[in-house]
């Protein structure tokens, strides 16, 4: 099946710094990618939808100036957490959809972010 | 708005027991419904899906039927194995292309031998 990777798998950063998370579709082109956030023992919450070559669409309550999303190519989307704070510590997961497939998404393994 | 409610866990079963994880949804229109599974240390994987009412999704011995009248999509398996231990998420998506998923909170299943 289609494979989505994320890098890094875990990262620790200091409060006030920025950190970038990459999401790559390894064997298919993804016109649409999604970014989710998962809190411990809770569901995945959609943060934004990323379409190649256009601005991301953010969900209500998600600060777009804090969580910068770039989808510069058909195989790569990045999420940059700017001026990170301890409350941004979470598990971030991306998924990707193939063109023409209205149903299935392929998920990355996630990135654990810890802000100290 | 759209939402998914699934039974809270953890669910603890012995090997070969029957499994049911309840899932109900609220949505406008005609959503597609999914079950995803997350094994320890791995990303979410699609387990099965149903795209219209009365459809039955099935995979690896798991089944779920899209019941529009009861807005439900319960996951069942006749005989669970230790390897089925994981977190199971019910989700819905509008049929329009590009629409993301709305997830339930997840149910942890633990199967012992």
| One pLDDT digit (tens) per residue for chain B, 113 residues | 889 999 888 999 999 999 999 999 998 878 889 999 999 878 888 999 998 899 999 999 999 999 999 999 999 999 999 999 999 999 998 655 557 888 999 999 999 99
Report strand pairing: B75-77 vs B62-65. antiparallel
Return d(Cα A45, Cα A24) in angstroms, integer.
20
Q: With an 8 Å Cβ cutoff, are B44 and A46 in contact?
A: no
A56 touches chain B (CB under 8 A): no
Chain A contact probe: residue of B40, B44, B89, B95 with most A CBs at under 10 A: B44
Chain B contact probe: residue of A105, A108, A112 with most B CBs at under 10 A: A105
Compute the mean pLDDT over every residue in chain A, rounded to the nearest whole number: 91
A91 touches chain B (CB under 8 A): no
Over residues A94-111, the mean pLDDT reads 83
| φ and ψ of B39, to 5 deg | -80, 155
Strands (DSSP E) found in chain A? 4-7, 10-13, 19-25, 32-38, 44-51, 57-58, 67-73, 76-81, 90-97, 106-107, 111-115
Residue B64: the pLDDT is 98
Smallest CA–CA distance, residue A36 to chain B, in Å, is 10
Tokens of B12: 């603890």
Asked if B113 contacts B17 with a C-beta cutoff of 8 angstroms, the reply is: no
Which has more confidence, A88 or B101? A88
B31 touches chain A (CB under 8 A): no
Residue pLDDT, tens place only, A24-74? 999 888 888 999 999 877 788 999 998 888 889 999 999 999 999 998 889
| φ and ψ of A88, to 5 deg | -80, -10
Facing residue for A34 by CB, picked from B97, B100, B104: B100
The overall longest dimension of chain A from CA atoms, in Å, is: 42
């Amino acid at each position: 099946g289609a494979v989505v990777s994320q890098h890094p798998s875990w990262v620790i950063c200091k409060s006030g710094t920025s950190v970038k998370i990459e999401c790559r579709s390894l064997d298919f082109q993804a016109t649409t990618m999604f970014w989710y956030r998962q809190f411990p023992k809770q569901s995945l919450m959609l943060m934004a939808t990323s379409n190649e070559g256009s601005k991301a669409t953010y969900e209500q309550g998600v600060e777009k100036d804090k969580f910068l999303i770039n989808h510069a190519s058909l195989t790569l989307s990045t999420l940059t957490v700017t001026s990170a704070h301890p409350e941004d510590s979470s598990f971030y997961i991306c998924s990707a959809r193939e063109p023409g497939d209205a149903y299935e998404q392929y998920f990355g393994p996630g990135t654990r972010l810890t802000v100290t | 708005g759209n939402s998914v409610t699934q039974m809270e866990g953890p669910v603890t079963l012995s090997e070969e027991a029957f499994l049911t994880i309840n899932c109900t949804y609220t949505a406008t229109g005609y959503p597609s419904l999914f079950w995803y599974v997350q094994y320890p240390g791995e990303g979410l994987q699609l387990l099965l899906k149903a795209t219209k009412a009365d459809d039955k999704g099935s995979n690896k011995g798991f089944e779920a039927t899209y019941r529009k009248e009861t807005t439900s999509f319960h996951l069942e398996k006749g005989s669970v194995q230790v390897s089925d231990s994981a977190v199971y998420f019910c989700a819905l998506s509008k049929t329009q292309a590009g629409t993301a998923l709305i997830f339930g909170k997840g149910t942890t299943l633990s199967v012992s031998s």
